[in-house]
Structure 1
Amino acid sequence: MNAKINIAELPEFDMAEHLDSDQAIAEYLTIVLEENDPAELTAALGTIARARGMTEVARSSGLTREALYKALRPTSQPRFDTIMKVLSSMGLKLSVQPVSHV
């Protein structure tokens, strides 16, 4: 007999728990960037910052913790320089590749 699973009792998935290495973070961010959705990029940076520790990311980026949370909300539209500060503080950088036309 199959036991019924109560969905409310399942643990909530948190991507930040799975970003435990630089490689995992790079792969996650690459996938998000391929979606070409600025809101998803902002949310992903927030997830990565939580995985790395918001306080440490805020400190090393020169932002206050509150400003970092505000800038990385999924509904926010952070300035490009803020994104670059956050990426740099997490030891990440963006790179550009030509789009292949098939």
Structure 2
Amino acid sequence: MILLCGGEKDSQDRDIKKAKGYWQAYQEKMSKKLRNHEEVVIEQLRNPEMAKAYLDVALEEYEQDGDLAFFLEALQNVAQARSGITRQNLYRDLSPEGNPELRTISLILHNLGYRLSVQPIQ
């Protein structure tokens, strides 16, 4: 908030216009810097190592609490980031309501450059 006091009427009007201009410029600058969370996640998941780590964490979460929806959402995010497949198509194929088969998950992972593997519990 800017508080303008004193001065002549002409200078007050000029100062108010100047302050409004500064505020508008600030808002435009900040709107270019701010992005929503989903945009940032998708951008980061374009990196294959980041995508792999993200899927690893999602699988670990699934092992701990059995929340398949979380893993499927992570797979959707990686597929969207790395392949450009639309979210609508992925949702249809990977939604918990769609009951995705292991074959579907494996095919999507393969197309992204990953594969399912088995590792000993540590």
Identical aligned residues as a percent: 39
- 1:41 alignment partner in structure 2: 71
Unaligned segments of structure 1, at least 5 residues: 1-8, 56-64
Unaligned segments of structure 2, at least 5 residues: 1-30
Greater C-alpha Rg: 2
Letter matched to residue 116 of structure 2: L
Following superposition, which runs of at least 4 residues in structure 1 exceed 4 angstroms of deviation? none
In the superposition, relative to structure 1, how do residues 23 and 71 fare at CA in structure 2: closer, same or farther (>3 Å)?
same
State the TM-score, normalizing by the size of structure 2: 0.58
What displacement does 1:72 show? 2.4
In the superposition, relative to structure 1, how do residues 19 and 77 fare at CA in structure 2: closer, same or farther (>3 Å)?
same
In the alignment, is the contact (CA less than 8 A) between 1:39 and 1:76 conserved in 2? Answer: no
Matched, 1:50 2:76: no
**Which one has a larger percent helix, Structure 1 or Structure 2?**
2
State the TM-score, normalizing by the size of structure 1: 0.68
- 1:23 alignment partner in structure 2: 49
In the alignment, is the contact (CA less than 8 A) between 2:46 and 2:81 conserved in 1? Answer: yes
SS of the residue 2:37 aligns to: coil
Letter matched to residue 12 of structure 1: N
RMSD of the TM alignment (CA)? 2.4
SS of the residue 1:35 aligns to: helix
SS of the residue 1:54 aligns to: coil
